[in-house]
Structure 1
């Protein structure tokens, strides 16, 4: 077993244990393995160890990596902030966008998807930490946004995504996750999409177990498998909010 395969196995075990603590089975939580800055050959090791659900933060990097791994049985999710002018490129490889945060992006995606004759699973990003540095809707804006989304027939909203505040204060981290869970629970009853809005994408390498305990159905984890990146996020993306996995 390679080092990556061993770390992946340990990660799955910890996900299963956290799911059990929340009264669920391991299969109730989907792992999106974050591959940002990771070379394709190392990603391929994880694929060969059974991980086929991958996530990227940047369109250009994701496109190149998808090309390098063409032929592998993988599905790509866009998990970082998405500019409307990158829609054409992201739809070349991504089967899901977890960072839908504005109507202009929904319109751009819908237009391109209509041209392609396909649909797209999306998650609505919510800024539960109320930090100006983070993308996402305010919690209060979510109900109206979901109503507006019904105009875009190619988009299939599946739930919500958030990033908790980066802090050692577990109470605050849990609060962020609980805010998203409460938004989801209200939406299941009140939103036009109803029961389709089941998923909660929350939790990364530093807090995924807490997120699962608070109801996450999707976690976005990379460094727990691939190790820390050699340089800080600001080196790779000097103009972007961190989406550390």
Structure 2
């Protein structure tokens, strides 16, 4: 059996090749794409393997799991990691996330924004966030409804310690990734609509969309951040 370092290295090379080919075909610069290694189903050793294979952006879904893994990591690896919080964030967990995470992908309600802003004031920092949008309208997914996103974006201007740097969405799972294209295309259009509003504390540079099964289509539609788990960590 291959050890995790070997597997992660092989899978990262494969993913980077796919991204390079996709960007070439889409007339994009591969340097525009950030791979976030989603470590929901792996431990601190898996994170170390990911970092040593060249993925320094790590995404976690749950606050308690993330903090436990951060505590287990050696100091030299902690210094190299940019943490992304990509799951549903409860307001009572914000105080644990804000000190450690560089980017929160899942800002989807004003009560959460208020708490993030409160914790940011305490730490005298500005917190970068993405607005999570439920483009598909699935009831099982979190996020601001697509028809409420512009109003939500305007309401976030009041929180001076939050900087909005883009949007995030999760497409439905399809056996044919091509079926996810309209979701990604709509998020890209929404990003452009919000950018035209010229809101305070906004820099609409990121689209976090695309996972292991559909990231190629997401990149073709403008993704700058792809959130990859199984394709990186699958030992098969």
Q: TM-score range by the shorter chain?
A: over 0.9
CA contact (8 A) 2:35 2:227 kept: yes
User: How many pairs align?
Assistant: 229
Deviations 1:147-175 (A, max 9, x none): 11111011110000000111224443001
Whole-Å Cα distance in 1 between the matches of residues 221 and 235 of structure 2? 25
Residue 115 of structure 1: CA displacement? 0.5
Normalization by structure 2: what TM-score? 0.92
* 2:1 is the counterpart of 1:3: no
Does structure 1 residue 139 correspond to structure 2 residue 146? yes
Q: Aligned ranges for residues 66-215 of structure 1 at < 5 Å?
A: 66-71=70-75, 72=77, 73-193=80-200, 196-215=203-222
Structural RMSD (CA)? 1.7
Q: Distance in 2 between matches of 1:10 and 1:17?
A: 11
Farther off after superposition, 35-44 or 71-80: 35-44
Report if the CA contact (8 A) 2:164-2:202 is conserved.
no
Q: 1:9-45 deviations in whole A, cap 9, x for unaligned?
A: 1111111111222211110111111011202112211
- Which stretch shows the higher mean deviation, 97-106 or 11-20? 11-20
CA-to-aligned-CA distance 1:23-76 (integer Å, 9 cap, x gap): 111101111110112021122112112211100001011111111124211111
Q: Structure 2 unaligned runs (5+)?
A: none
Give the match's secondary structure for 2:166.
strand
Measure, in 2, the Cα distance between the counterparts of 1:147 and 1:76.
Answer: 27
After superposing on structure 2, the runs of 4+ consecutive aligned residues of structure 1 that deviate more than 2 Å are 168-172
When normalised by structure 1's length, the TM-score is 0.89
The match for 2:66 is: 62
Contact 1:19 1:28 in 2 (8 A): no
Rounded to whole Å, the distance in 2 between the matches of 1:164 and 1:193 is 29
- 1: CA distance, partners of 2:14 / 2:31: 15
